[in-house]
Amino acid sequence: MKNPLDAISIPIEHLKSELKSRISFIHLVSSLAPEASTNLEAKSDLNQTGAWIDTASEGELRAKAEAVIGLLDKLVKESQKRLPPKGDWRHIAAEHWQILSAKAFSFSNGISYGWLAERFDCSRLNIPADMPYHARIGVGHHAGNAAIEEDFLLRDAFFMLAKCQASLTRLENFRSELKTASLAKSHYKLVSMFNQNVATYARYAVVGFYSFVECFVNSVGEDFIARNPTLPADKRELLRGKKDGRHLALGKKLEVFPGIIRADGKRPMVLSDPKQISEPFRSFASQVKDVRDSSAHFAKYKADIIVSPQTWEKRAQEASAVCSGVARGFWNACYPDRSLPLYLGKLDDALHMQLAEQRAKTEMKELQTQ
């Protein structure tokens, strides 16, 4: 509305639409950055205002429209400063209203980064620019956070590795303790438990690191599709891991995806020829995959899973290094002119291990206080 006084004569449904569009836009921005909208919400409870629009009489709406629109326009202006839109805020508000109506927006599931990035300058939200478009951005009490599957899998794998190493340290400490004490039944059970714990954590670390690579590769493909909506159908199918309706093996994806994503169409990695495959891809396709397959669905002809705890810890540590190396190599093959993925901490092993160890220590501390 160019002039709020038009509220006296315009159709009532048009007036309601003008009011609700403002509320929709303010609601969206405040849910993404609630700390910046506390004072705004104190001036006008958006939920109550929305309810008032639906229940007030036509006469009351027209009588109060000028004052309400004036207040909402101030909030819209402040909201645009906080999160600058790339286009007309009214169009964004209308689309957001459709999302709300379709129940595709929730405080538990957030909103897709791609939708936001196409409509706002998301640098104000401190979201890495390489965040995949299908990532979910937190709203409300989740604001300031993003959720993407490969990040969870990577953190889980490092957490399993940290727990494995902590259990092995405790197990090996028993050596000196048992030199001065007889091997009582209680000691035997405790040693046996830590022995088993090392293997348990190591197995799931190996599975986790391998799963992370699979998820990461799929995510890179899906993100490229979302950022390139005019991509031919055959290339979209390949980036979703299929060719002529049949699933591609992970090794094939690692080899093919860069050729689609890179501007020059090159495929830097050759994995289908055993003579040309290099490290860390050779170890990934052989030893890590062998241990992962055996851990996930053991058979007599596969890698042994009844081995020493030291062997299991070594396997987990090797899986960590190899899988992180594969992920870095794949990203560099796809994006040779970009830094390693910011949204994954640049795939820095030391950083992720530090975070995992802190998580394990915090868990232990909290359990001990109960």
Q: Identify the pLDDT of residue 8.
A: 61
Three-state SS annotation for 64-94: HHHHHHHHHHHHHHHHHHHCCECCCHHHHHH
The answer to whether residues 96 and 192 belong to one domain is no
pLDDT (average), residues 62-71: 89
The answer to whether residues 247 and 334 belong to one domain is yes
Q: Identify the pLDDT of residue 100.
A: 67
How many structural domains is the chain composed of? 2
Q: Model confidence at 212, in pLDDT bands (50, 70, 90)?
A: very high
pTM: 0.89
Q: Identify the pLDDT of residue 234.
A: 96
The answer to whether residues 55 and 175 belong to one domain is no
Place of tokens 């009011």: 19
The answer to whether residues 153 and 69 belong to one domain is no
The answer to whether residues 95 and 155 belong to one domain is no
277 within some domain? yes
Task: Give the other-Cβ count within 10 Å of 218's Cβ.
Answer: 18
The answer to whether residues 161 and 74 belong to one domain is no
Q: Identify the pLDDT of residue 46.
A: 76
What CA–CA distance (Å, rounded) separates 75 from 333?
Answer: 46
326 within some domain? yes
Write out the two tokens for 344: 């994954």
Q: Identify the pLDDT of residue 105.
A: 61
Write out the two tokens for 264: 């020059």
Examine the pLDDT at 336 and tell me if it is beyond 80: yes
The answer to whether residues 156 and 8 belong to one domain is no
The answer to whether residues 63 and 189 belong to one domain is no
> Residue 267 phi/psi, 5° resolution?
-115, 95
Instruction: Provide the domain limits for residue 19.
Output: 4-103
The answer to whether residues 75 and 209 belong to one domain is no
Higher pLDDT, 126 or 97: 126
Q: Identify the pLDDT of residue 325.
A: 98
Examine the pLDDT at 5 and tell me if it is beyond 50: no
